[in-house]
Amino acid sequence: MMLRSAVQRLAMQEELNFLLTNRIPRHALTRFMGWFSKIENPVVSSASIALWRFFCDVDLTDAPEKRFRSLHAAFTRPLKPGARVVDADPAIVASPCDAIVGAHGRVKDGQAYQIKGLEYSLAELLGDAATAAAFADGWFVTLRLTAGMYHRFHAPHDLTVDSVRYISGDTWNVNPVALKRIEKLYCRNERAPIIARLNAGGARIALVPVAAVLVASIRLPFLDSEKPVRDGGTGVRPVSARFAKGEEMGWFEHGSTIVVLSPPDCPPVALEQGAQIRMGQPLMRVPRNSDPD
């Protein structure tokens, strides 16, 4: 415990944290991690999982299994039944994932803020100005998944996915230390904006999974059950995939971030930056004119 505390204190030193997690060959290390994490040798998997649990705050009490064939299997573990309660109120858009609440608030002139003093363009984040126009005066909530968290994400409401755009990019760390130093960080990293509409009323909503250092891939099984999103190449993929509220949509293969965008009449509930939120808990409110189908 003393060693772990000492390591955590070192990690809290911002300059050292930034150097260790960003001034490294990010792409090469991420590709290596993608390969290494899938090794199913019992000695390798046991040692790597032990190190992961030592350095990260990992809680496996909600996993259906406690032993994993690889580090990758531990990262992408599912939940045991009943481990999360999804808010059933049709007036609530639920959190799609377990996360730490980051920057959130009103979109102003098509800009969202990354951290105090730094902003980014939704058109750049989404890769398309016309798509961004639907959220120009709307709302945004940033949800950061840490390395030890549950890494799967779920439908925040009954919805239909209309398109997914894959945008290739960098793999900067997405922690607060990097957010202070790298302008437009979310617009630089690999991401896969998911554009959907609520089945009740048709309000547009966007989920933007943003990859980060050591993230081997973003997986969306409704696009391809076998391959990560990047294998399909850059560009837009029209889809028509319906999800019930709380239904699994995809996962990261390490910790990262999801930016949630909503229209002006779909504001966030009272959120506190830095607070933890669990998948299924209230995140936003559905427009009042959104009647059931």
Instruction: Please list the active-site residues.
Output: 98, 154, 256
Token pair for 204: 């547009």
- Centroid of chain to Cα 226: 20
Token pair for 159: 């919805």
Specify the 3-state DSSP secondary structure of 157: coil
- Centroid of chain to Cα 40: 26
**Using the 8-state DSSP alphabet, how is residue 293 labeled?**
-
Specify the 3-state DSSP secondary structure of 90: coil
112, β-bridge pairs = 120
Residue-wise over 207-225: b if at least 16 C-beta within 10 A, else e? bbbbbbbbbbbbbbebbee
Smallest CA-to-CA distance from 53 within 13, 111, 112, 7 is with 7
Q: 232: Cβ–Cβ under 8 A, 6 or more apart, which residues? A: 166, 223, 224
**Spatial contact of 164 and 228, defined as CB atoms under 8 Å apart:** no
105, β-bridge pairs = 140
Smallest CA-to-CA distance from 218 within 258, 266, 246 is with 258
CA distance 39 to 157: 36
- Centroid of chain to Cα 225: 19
CA distance 167 to 234: 6
